[in-house]
Amino acid sequence: MNRSSKNLEIDPVQFINRELSLLRFQRRVLSQAADPSVPLLERLRFLCIVSSNLDEFFEIRVSGIKEQIRLGSRRVASDGLTPKELFLQVSQAVHEIISEQYALLNDSILPALAREGIVFIRRGTWSPEQQAWIQAYFQDHVMPVLTPIGLDPAHPFPRVLNKSLNFAVELEGLDAFGRDSGAAIVQAPRALPRVIELPREITGVEHGFVFLSSVLHAHVGDLFSGMNVLGCYQFRVTRNSDLFVDEEEVKDLRASLKGELQQRHFGDGVRLEVADNCSVSMSDFLLHQFNLSPSDLYRTPGIVNLVRLMQIPDRVDRPDLKFPPFVPGQPKVLEQRCDIFEAIRKQDILLHHPFQSFEPVINLLKAGAEDPQVLAIKMTVYRTGTDSVLMQQLMRAAQKGKEVTVVLELMARFDEEANIAWAAKLEDVGVHVVYGVFGYKTHAKLLMLVRREDDRLRRYVHLGTGNYHPGTTRFYTDFGLLTANDEMGADVAEIFKQLTGLGTASALKHLWQAPFTLQANVVEAIQAEAAIAAAGRPAKIMAKMNALLEPETILALYEASKAGVQVDLIVRGPCALRPGVPGLSENIRVRSIVGRFLEHHRIFHFHADGEDKVYLSSADWMDRNFFRRIEVAFPLLDNKVKRRVIKEGLRPYIGDNCQAWEMLPDGKYRRRSPRGTRRSAQAILMQELGAR
């Protein structure tokens, strides 16, 4: 059992399975692709996002389930399902999602794109001019980098990269050496583009594309001279991509992680995708090669990797088929003052991304790098991207002689390689790079500048709910707080001391910190609200997060509901709590918002007898965030800022009737329908906070 639930009495009827709930979230994303009110190229993008999400779901979640089955585990989760039972339900749900996904693509989105002059030209419809152009393209750009591998005792089945595009070829006849293996594998190097645009003069449309798979299918015979090609089938294998580093064995985390990353592409297979024309004998052969069962096979009526279509909205210049451009606004106080340190001293400043710009955070670091009065800069980094202006400013600050410390999380999933590269670059210019506490991911978003002012040192702090990644701040909803509050600064300084040094955890004045106090304080705040309700006074909880899974917190919410607390939860993704169950959770409502931007902020609001305690956090209410990560939740001490968060981060979402999905007691979701005035939280915030 996990740390929080080991002493709890868990009734499986009260909990919904995490994986099945996560798959229901994918259905909500898929509904965006089916929504005719969403611009056409954005519908295609949402379709691709589902595929990308499912890839990660198999790489991490399904691989974990299969590993439990392999080890013979009969461990029952809080929802009562064994690993084998869960795998069967997951397999069925994913097969249904993929079937709906391809039906939507083939029957709706592709025909609609064709009507707009964006055509994916099928191999059977190529004109003579198109065939000639494609043949030349194959000979000049594709064939020189292909390595066909005939399967025989001297050529065993090749190592196939995770999620790479491959072709299984069935052959007939003898080759130059008299061999008759009957099968070959052709791997498509990742350097080759998966989607190729043809010249407009030979397509007759504004944008005419062919898939690399179609090009190779048409000319695969050129790779096997004199032999008869009986069949050519796309396939793709998804592999276990979770990384494991042994705490007792590791001496250098960065070096150990580099070694693990080399093997990520060749982990155990967990899913095989093949084109729907693949012969049964070939699909059985491939399943055997990857040690997979028939339930791991997914036949696709189209290309085996829809993620490759993600590039199309960016390559096609059709603004009318995309979301209207949006320019984020700036807080008025920063528009009025050019000295960012003076502005932060004057008042706490709330940033609401992506409706407001991330530039103030970048400008704070720039000012810190250049200002001779700034003596030290400390920052946590979880995800920041391969080309980060923030990292460049940290390096510049170090080069100018400032004390710069970066707590860099090397184990940020799928960003490990980028973070390792940044670690080397930062160290080369004198930045102190530390990797936090082994066994606990540093997920807290903290930035602190120490500045000399009037014979004293003042701390300027940024705390956030999202990553220091300028790219994602344009698409993820998050809050950031800029403050010079002495007590908040002291708390942040204490956490940095923990992360870089050694010692016991000191009590913090304001911040709730995982793995020490965050979960206990959340549960205590819920219980306090329940006590207020039991005493007959108004009690209310509003909270927004990405996931709600931790059992003790869920049980506390159930007890609060039974006591009469009105609980409104906005949970974007998986939710293990069952709302609206008579006698258990009839006072709890759960909503999920899926729209143009990815909902990402975490907000915890407790009415607290009218005191309105509001916390922002980097943490979801999950076991991993509470007990296996270093996280913070920080209070809003300024009443004006507190009111803004309630007004912008909670109320519009609770009132949303355009992009909101209501969770039902059985774990399914029902989309809210506008009655009267249409209210979209994201549209309201774009209107209110965007640049004029």
Q: Which of 459, 494, 510 is the last residue of a domain?
A: 510
Does any domain span residue 613?
yes
Contact at 8 Å (CB) between 494 and 632?
A: no
Q: Which pLDDT score is estimated for 244?
A: 56
Same domain, 502 and 555: no
Same domain, 21 and 72: yes
For 612-668, the pLDDT digits (tens) are: 999 999 999 999 999 999 999 999 999 999 999 999 999 999 999 999 999 999 999
Domain span at residue 522 reads 513-689
Does any domain span residue 326?
no
Q: How far apart are the C-alpha atoms of 61 and 520, rounded to whole Å?
A: 27
For 173-215, the pLDDT digits (tens) are: 766 656 666 889 999 999 999 999 999 999 999 999 999 999 9
Which tokens sit at 193? 């583009």
Q: Which of 260, 288, 321 is the last residue of a domain?
A: 321
Instruction: Give the residue, 422 or 478, on which the prediction is more confident.
Output: 478
**Is 352 marked active-site?**
no
Side chain identity at 682, as an amino acid letter?
A: Q
Same domain, 630 and 502: no
Q: How far apart are the C-alpha atoms of 203 and 551, rounded to whole Å?
A: 58
Q: How far apart are the C-alpha atoms of 366 and 381, rounded to whole Å?
A: 17
Does any domain span residue 154?
yes
Same domain, 462 and 545: no
| pLDDT category of residue 520 using cuts at 50, 70 and 90 | very high
Same domain, 437 and 373: yes
Catalytic residue among 443, 462, 601, 605: 443
Q: How far apart are the C-alpha atoms of 392 and 343, rounded to whole Å?
A: 24
Tell me which residue of 28, 26, 82, 16 sits closest to 58, measured CA to CA. Answer: 26
Contact at 8 Å (CB) between 511 and 492?
A: yes
Same domain, 506 and 536: no
| pLDDT category of residue 314 using cuts at 50, 70 and 90 | very high
User: Is it the case that residue 2 has pLDDT exceeding 50?
Assistant: no
Instruction: Give the residue, 281 or 338, on which the prediction is more confident.
Output: 281
Read off the pLDDT of each residue in 495-501 and give the average, rounded to a whole number. Answer: 93
Same domain, 355 and 314: no
Which tokens sit at 398? 């170090």
Q: Which of 321, 340, 363 is the last residue of a domain?
A: 321
For residue 201, what is the enclosing H or E element?
A: helix 200-203
Q: Which pLDDT score is estimated for 692?
A: 77
Q: Which pLDDT score is estimated for 270?
A: 96
Does any domain span residue 5?
no
Q: How far apart are the C-alpha atoms of 567 and 548, rounded to whole Å?
A: 13
Q: Which pLDDT score is estimated for 176?
A: 60
Does any domain span residue 327?
no
Determine the distance from the C-alpha atom of residue 250 to the mean position of all C-alpha atoms in its chain, rounded to a whole number: 28
Strands 566-571 and 588-593: parallel
Read off the pLDDT of each residue in 369-396 and give the average, rounded to a whole number. Answer: 93
User: Is it the case that residue 39 has pLDDT exceeding 90?
Assistant: yes
For 427-461, the pLDDT digits (tens) are: 999 999 998 788 899 999 999 999 999 989 999 99
Same domain, 465 and 562: no
For residue 99, what is the enclosing H or E element?
A: helix 83-104
| pLDDT category of residue 402 using cuts at 50, 70 and 90 | very high
Does any domain span residue 2?
no
Does any domain span residue 678?
yes
Q: How far apart are the C-alpha atoms of 445 and 630, rounded to whole Å?
A: 10
Same domain, 478 and 562: no
Residues near 691 by beta carbon (within 8 Å), at least 6 away in sequence:
327, 328, 329, 330
Q: Which pLDDT score is estimated for 250?
A: 45
User: Is it the case that residue 245 has pLDDT exceeding 60?
Assistant: no
Q: How far apart are the C-alpha atoms of 217 and 235, rounded to whole Å?
A: 13
Q: How far apart are the C-alpha atoms of 80 and 106, rounded to whole Å?
A: 38
We report the CATH number of the domain holding residue 453 as 3.30.870.10
Read off the pLDDT of each residue in 666-692 and give the average, rounded to a whole number. Answer: 94
Same domain, 391 and 534: no
Same domain, 341 and 423: yes
Contact at 8 Å (CB) between 548 and 572?
A: no
Tell me which residue of 560, 591, 611, 603 sits closest to 661, measured CA to CA. Answer: 591
Same domain, 378 and 288: no
Does any domain span residue 1?
no
How many C-beta atoms lie closer than 10 Å to residue 115's C-beta?
A: 10
We report the CATH number of the domain holding residue 41 as 3.30.1840.10
Q: Which pLDDT score is estimated for 172?
A: 85
Based on the structure, what is the number of domains in the chain? 3
Q: Which pLDDT score is estimated for 265?
A: 64
For 84-136, the pLDDT digits (tens) are: 999 999 999 999 999 999 999 999 999 999 999 999 999 999 999 999 999 99
